[in-house]
């Protein structure tokens, strides 16, 4: 199965672009959502998280205490590395299992994997192609502050834990500019055409 990894820094518009691909019939694996699901249902992972970040990592109803974990990991690089080492292998495995269901399906020419840390986690190496959604930092910050009702300082903290826009642009095969000056849908349609032909020749 032809796999395209899609990424972009915080607030770039990854999810927004994925929704357009979904309208075109392309299945999307949302790695960040899957990570959150696994962090509550994978018993080995749950134990690892409790051991690393304390029993407060879970609320009384068993849901993830995201505020608690975010407070630790986005203030300390070592703790973030620890979290990533626990979570990422489980997400990689889940993606491979998810892909299996589309094997041999004529109506599914390729699949997308949306991951905020596609490059940082090296998971782009498991995809045939990587697509980067790019927007200037100022616009990205404004979008997330509006969407999540959080302070710019909070957004900045996460942004600083990610590879720079320039490094990612260097690694990406394809780029969508989502800076409010270029229309997004035509860019998606052009890449969809490219992926269809690459997948056919795969």
Ligand X SMILES: CC(C)(COP(=O)(O)OP(=O)(O)OC[C@H]1O[C@@H](n2cnc3c(N)ncnc32)[C@H](O)[C@@H]1O)[C@@H](O)C(=O)NCCC(=O)NCCS
User: Which residues of the shown chain bind ligand X in the complex (CB under 6 A)?
Assistant: 10, 31-32, 35-36, 39, 66, 69-70, 73, 80, 83-84, 87, 91, 115-117, 158, 161-162
Under 8 Å between Cβ of 71 and 19: no
**Minimum CB separation from ligand X for residue 200, in Å?**
29
Cβ-based nearer residue to ligand ATP, 10 or 131: 10
Q: Is 187 in the site for ligand ATP (CB under 6 A)?
A: no
Q: Is 66 in the site for ligand ATP (CB under 6 A)?
A: no
d(CA 84, CA 35): 10
Q: Which of 4, 5, 6, 8 binds ligand ATP (CB under 6 A)?
A: 8
Cβ-based nearer residue to ligand X, 26 or 86: 86
Ligand-binding annotation for 48, yes or no, is no
Stretch that binds ligand ATP, among 3-11, 45-53, 75-83, 85-93 (CB under 6 A): 3-11
**Minimum CB separation from ligand X for residue 118, in Å?**
8
Handedness of CA 70, 76, 77, 80 (dihedral sign): negative
* 14-23 and 184-200 helices, crossing angle to 10°: 60
Please give the sequence-ordered ranges of beta strands (E in DSSP) within the chain, or none if there are none. 2-7, 28-30, 110-114, 129-134, 174-177
Q: Name the residue with tokens 């782009």.
A: 124
d(CA 11, CA 2): 26
**Minimum CB separation from ligand ATP for residue 151, in Å?**
14
């Amino acid at each position: 199965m032809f796999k395209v990894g899609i990424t972009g820094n915080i607030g770039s518009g990854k999810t927004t672009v994925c929704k357009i691909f979904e309208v075109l019939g392309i299945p999307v694996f949302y790695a960040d959502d899957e990570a959150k699901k696994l962090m509550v249902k994978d018993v080995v992972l749950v134990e690892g998280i409790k051991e690393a970040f304390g029993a407060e990592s879970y609320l009384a109803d068993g849901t993830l205490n995201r505020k608690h974990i975010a407070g630790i990991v986005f203030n300390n690089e070592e703790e973030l590395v620890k979290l990533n080492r626990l979570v990422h292998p489980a997400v990689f495995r889940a993606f491979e299992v998810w892909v299996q269901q589309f094997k041999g399906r004529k109506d599914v020419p390729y699949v997308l994997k949306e991951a905020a840390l596609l490059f940082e986690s090296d998971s782009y190496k498991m995809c045939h192609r990587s697509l980067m959604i790019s927007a200037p930092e100022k616009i990205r910050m404004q979008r997330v502050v509006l969407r999540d009702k959080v302070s710019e300082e909070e957004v900045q903290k996460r942004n600083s834990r990610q590879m720079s826009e320039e490094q990612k642009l260097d690694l990406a095969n394809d780029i969508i500019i989502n800076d409010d000056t270029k229309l997004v849908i035509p860019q998606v349609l052009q890449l969809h055409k490219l992926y269809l032909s690459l997948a056919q020749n795969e």
